[in-house]
Structure 1
């Protein structure tokens, strides 16, 4: 297993460290519920340095990105970010990712940790353009500082106007005395905040500076356990659970990042799928009976006919009830429809809900 530049810091802080996507990562410190509430109401720091960063540059960089991703990267300006996904030849999702435009000839793809090698091979396979592809994942640390108090905490450490960074935008500047830090406003929690990209050698210095700056706001380190409950309350997909090589972006509710006014891998197959109607759809649901849904639990109709499977589920710390995501046959994928989840051989009722489950706190 690999360590991030901060793994030893997490151990010293008493984190429960476990294997995740090939890395030793902090799963929790005080407890998932406490950490979840810290982010929703205050400010918390996630070490997500296991994520991958791939640089694509050259005069035809955007042409390569257009070919491999579903969203329209030609719409990006410098300092803008786009949520997108890579599709395989059958229209399944190789990965979901962020595309950063650094300048007209330089882009950064931020990909899921477990998919770095797969994504890199796929992009290189499709690189029939004059584009240079460089995996810098092993050199970069990434901290996600999330919550309503993230901005006043971080503003102490930079002259970059953080309130001037729009949602899905970024700036590059000096942060905590470190030059050329990428400060972005995306997040995976729905609580607002920023992400910081910088060299590994600066990780510990910046970690302690951030905690000093946020001390008055009760800043705390947050593990991946709370990151999962936070993202699920927002209905955000997790690769390997809710989306994978066998799910299409249309089935996953990602039609809004699937642009058919450009060409990309498997676009014709996906157009055909859209025209013919989807056989299944990803939906959110809230449990109305007691019980917590888990990945791969079977979903049934009112008549006890199997109609799908749970992809993610948890007890929501904010809502005080169990929630989940899952694929169901399209005929049953409508709001307020009553479904049943088989939990420990018992049929437990649930109601399909509109996403997100909670109102986001994004600026």
Structure 2
């Protein structure tokens, strides 16, 4: 049976089209529709319920040492209030999940994991823990809201003090208040836009949701669903677990080299990644130039040869054309090359392009 987030009633009230996703009932869209929601985030602001995400506390004198072994990124120099993204590998170099770690103090870290992988990730951490450390699944205690878009911070400033808004990307203020509600304010997101993610006690979720929507009326803030979340992350070429990476795809193949520190002393999967050498596959971007929309798991063909498979694909409202990401044989194509993608028995023309497809102007 699917779970409900603390905002389920708000979604129903607002006319959200609720669907099962990662074990939860969540809105895929609201009456405005995916295109309007997508454009609101690119030009004004959008509000997402991401309370289905998982949160794990990692505490104790050996907390950092455990993170160093579990994760591919390097956490030796992370400072209080800083967030750092990392894949988490299995022994074969495949990806267990990708996640974000926030440092609260030397011995306390908040790990945010993908909804569909919560139980798996938590068990993985427990199975590989060592020394004086405690991993605690605190997912039920937290609601998470994402306020995203160029107007997001203007809206937030109406409800909080400047000192409670992080100055830098991938930083968080732990003991903040927004609309009088205690929360963590994190300058992060999954849309390619400016904005924040707010972590707060579940019982205040509806109060926070409504306070933000009320404060953002002038700026054109609207609630957004899973549909826009997916089209936005696609335009920004952000990988999604189960698509651009999985237990068989390494973070290096997925193009996440920046978060894999092979110079680090050790981590689970390091040996396998080193032994594999240069990745045999790479993630590429495709702009559809023919007629049709490319979806996932469709064959990519270059000069008559099958070179790989698409991992995600959609029509992007802001860019105005269909795009896809694909995992293909390394070195087979470069930006500008023409390929074809087999869509239900019909070949659709596409061009290899640089990632990301969309990058906001700073």
TM-score bucket of the superposed structures, by smaller chain:
over 0.9
Q: Which residue of 1 aligns with 2:294?
A: 293
* Native 8 Å contact 2:165 2:185 kept in 1: no
The 2-side partners of 1:129 and 1:232 are apart by: 40
Matches of residues 107-146 of structure 1 in structure 2 within 5 Å?
Answer: 107-146=109-148
**Cα 1:331–1:124 shift into 2, 3 Å:** same
Cα deviation digits, residues 329-362 of structure 1 (max 9, x gap): 113242112111011211111111111111225x
Deviates more, 1:335-344 or 1:133-142: 335-344
* Native 8 Å contact 1:151 1:162 kept in 2: no
The 2-side partners of 1:131 and 1:272 are apart by: 30
Q: Which residue of 2 aligns with 1:278?
A: 279
The question of 1:8 aligning with 2:19 is answered: no
1:283 aligned counterpart, secondary structure: strand
2:241 to 225, 239, 242: 239
The 2-side partners of 1:198 and 1:249 are apart by: 31
TM-superposed deviation, 1:129: 2.2
1:174 to 142, 153, 177: 177
* Native 8 Å contact 1:68 1:265 kept in 2: yes
The 2-side partners of 1:227 and 1:270 are apart by: 31
Q: Which residue of 1 aligns with 2:355?
A: 355
- Could you tell me which runs of 5 or more consecutive residues in structure 2 were left unpaired when the two chains were aligned: none
TM-superposed deviation, 1:139: 1.2
CA RMSD after TM alignment: 1.1
Q: Which residue of 1 aligns with 2:230?
A: 228
TM-score, normalised to structure 1, is 0.97
2:207 to 192, 205, 208: 205
The question of 1:264 aligning with 2:267 is answered: yes
Cα deviation digits, residues 177-235 of structure 1 (max 9, x gap): 122x1100111101110000000011111111111111110110000100100000011
The 1-side partners of 2:90 and 2:165 are apart by: 38
Q: Which residue of 2 aligns with 1:321?
A: 321
* Native 8 Å contact 1:155 1:161 kept in 2: no
TM-score, normalised to structure 2, is 0.97
Matches of residues 46-65 of structure 1 in structure 2 within 5 Å?
Answer: 46-65=48-67
Cα deviation digits, residues 31-63 of structure 1 (max 9, x gap): 111100000000110000000000000011000
1:76 to 75, 78, 88: 78
The question of 1:335 aligning with 2:335 is answered: yes
The 1-side partners of 2:345 and 2:13 are apart by: 42
Q: Which residue of 1 aligns with 2:28?
A: 27
2:212 aligned counterpart, secondary structure: helix
1:73 aligned counterpart, secondary structure: coil
1:251 to 250, 253, 258: 253
1:116 aligned counterpart, secondary structure: helix
Deviates more, 1:124-133 or 1:49-58: 124-133
The 1-side partners of 2:321 and 2:213 are apart by: 32
Cα deviation digits, residues 109-148 of structure 1 (max 9, x gap): 1000000000001011110121110000011000000001
The 2-side partners of 1:221 and 1:293 are apart by: 27
Deviates more, 1:87-96 or 1:207-216: 207-216
Deviates more, 1:86-95 or 1:154-163: 154-163
Matched positions, count: 358
TM-superposed deviation, 1:255: 0.9
The 2-side partners of 1:178 and 1:320 are apart by: 39
The 1-side partners of 2:33 and 2:333 are apart by: 34
The 2-side partners of 1:100 and 1:331 are apart by: 36
- Could you tell me which runs of 5 or more consecutive residues in structure 1 were left unpaired when the two chains were aligned: none
The 2-side partners of 1:281 and 1:75 are apart by: 29
The 1-side partners of 2:273 and 2:285 are apart by: 23
The 2-side partners of 1:251 and 1:192 are apart by: 27
